Structure 1
Amino acid sequence: MKVLYEGTINNQVLRKKQPFYMKRLYLEDLPAIEKVQDAVLKSLPEKAVLQPLSTEEFLFILNERGLLIGAYVDDQLIGFRALLIPEIDEEHLGLDIGLTEADLPRVIYQEISVVLPEYRGNRLQQKLAEVIMKELPNLKEQFQYVCCTVAPMNIPSLKDKFTQDMRIAALKEKYEGMRRYILVKDLKNPAPHYTNHTSVKLDDLPMQQQLLADGYLGIGFRLVNGFHEIEFAKEQ
């Protein structure tokens, strides 16, 4: 077993620090992966904020069509993060953000990221993101764009993506009619410069949609009168 990361983590139930480590997940880890996903889904007050993966989707990733990294305490899986090499079809996120068909093979999806409730508040999702992105170059294929979807109003997930310098590039109906932000990071231009900054209330989706249509990108959060708003800007 190759350990990719080691550290300590706070168990919020036991109120004590515990050692943990991260490693790549394989087919034999599938039962533990699905057990953690089920536990996280049951803990969510609003189920629609998380789009779970099916057994078939996990198998697709584990059969060399992506990458799964897991975090462990005492050899128990407590969280994981996934990258998926998507099929190229009409639902491809690259098409939603204006990439050409020639660009689509260079797109990888940042998929589900979950952490058991007792280990939340440790920035573990961010740590998992850092580790999995360091492992990305070890895949056989080479990728330029990382894409993902996030439900509007899902502030923790948006914060996670903004921390990784991902940007909202579109707002579309996905997954049989559910509205989702589509975020992207260009690995060849990870920190572009922005101009024309403005901000929009989280629930003002029509205004957000108009800004996106006008060439703006959602680049982060801004506190306005004590409330989060999404900051939009144009790339120079």
Structure 2
Amino acid sequence: MRIVETGDLIEAVTGVCPFQMILLDPGYLPAIEALQALVLSNLEKKELCVRLTGAEIKNILAGQGLALGVIVKRRLVAFCALCFPGRSEDNLGREYGLPEAELSKVTHLEITLIAPDYRGNDLQRRMFKHLGQLAQSLGRWRYLYSTIAPANYPSLKAVMKQGLLIVDLKQKYNHYWRYILFQNMDRPLQLDRGQVIPVPPNDLAAQQKLLQAGYIGFASRQGPEGVQILYGRRLTIT
């Protein structure tokens, strides 16, 4: 068992409790499926999260990705995974013109699951940080993609803090709207932040127009007017 972090978490009922964050192996498949069922059953908006199938989780655990879990009292309370899609048809790089030879360098940030009683511990960001370090050590950290529902502000905030940027907004899984976030970790996208345009996440039409005009969503903020996504114009590097 490879441990990547230890410490204490705040649990909603019992208070402070010790945890281990570990690299998961195929033996954790039943625990991941149970955690996923728990998390999805507690979602008010079911469209915020599309479940991973057992086969997809199994493939990740078998080496087509990396998965971290947080263990408290021998119970899996959080899960986060990366997928290495290779040259499969599901590789998001295909949708955005990535050459065939580069597809093997694509990594997808997959679903993050956190048991309700353990939310508020910044676990998504912490797991994502460790996954990035592990993937980088394997040479699998060049083109990073993620898809997030516009209404899923906590996940969007956590992922954008790691440097991913909104490059598209479209209907995907079951026709649910999703931001497509991307970053070239070797040559990060550059943008002009001198003229920032804030847009509410529920104004899909305005965001699509900005994206089509060459803007990129680079941050989110929450204030008296509610959540806003900040857009800046993409710079062309010659």
Q: Do they fold alike, i.e. is TM over 0.5?
A: yes
Q: Distance in 2 between matches of 1:161 and 1:82?
A: 13
Q: Check the 8 A contact 2:11/2:118 in 1, yes or no.
A: yes
Residue 63 of structure 1: SS of its match in structure 2?
A: helix
Task: Specify the alignment match of 2:4 in structure 1.
Answer: 4
Aligned residues: CA RMSD: 1.8
The change in CA–CA distance for 1:187 and 1:88 in structure 2 (over 3 A counts) is same
Q: Distance in 2 between matches of 1:121 and 1:142?
A: 29
Equivalent of 2:150 in 152, 155, 163: 152
What one-letter code is carried by the residue in structure 2 that aligns with 1:166?
L
For 1:36-51, list aligned pairs within 5 A.
36-51=35-50
For 1:76-225, list aligned pairs within 5 A.
76-139=75-138, 141-190=139-188, 192-195=190-193, 196-223=195-222, 225=224
Unpaired runs of 5+ residues, structure 2, are none
What one-letter code is carried by the residue in structure 2 that aligns with 1:20?
F
Task: Specify the alignment match of 1:227 in structure 2.
Answer: 226
Q: Distance in 2 between matches of 1:143 and 1:126?
A: 17
Q: Distance in 2 between matches of 1:71 and 1:4?
A: 10
The alpha carbon displacement at 1:89 in A equals 4.5
Deviation beyond 6 Å, 4+ runs, structure 1 = none
Q: Check the 8 A contact 1:96/1:170 in 2, yes or no.
A: no
The alpha carbon displacement at 1:193 in A equals 4.9
For 1:52-91, list aligned pairs within 5 A.
52-91=51-90
The alpha carbon displacement at 1:154 in A equals 1.3
Q: Distance in 1 between matches of 2:183 and 2:18?
A: 32
- Give the TM-score of the pair, scaled to structure 1: 0.92
The alpha carbon displacement at 1:225 in A equals 4.3
Q: Distance in 1 between matches of 2:109 and 2:203?
A: 26
Residue 181 of structure 1: SS of its match in structure 2?
A: strand
CA shift digits 1:21-62 (9 cap, x unpaired):
111111111111111111111111111101110001011111
Q: Distance in 2 between matches of 1:148 and 1:175?
A: 13
Between 119-128 and 89-98, the greater mean CA deviation after superposition:
89-98
Q: Check the 8 A contact 1:86/1:109 in 2, yes or no.
A: yes
Instruction: Work out the number of aligned pairs and report it.
Output: 234
The change in CA–CA distance for 1:209 and 1:95 in structure 2 (over 3 A counts) is farther
Q: Check the 8 A contact 2:82/2:107 in 1, yes or no.
A: yes
Q: Distance in 1 between matches of 2:23 and 2:190?
A: 31
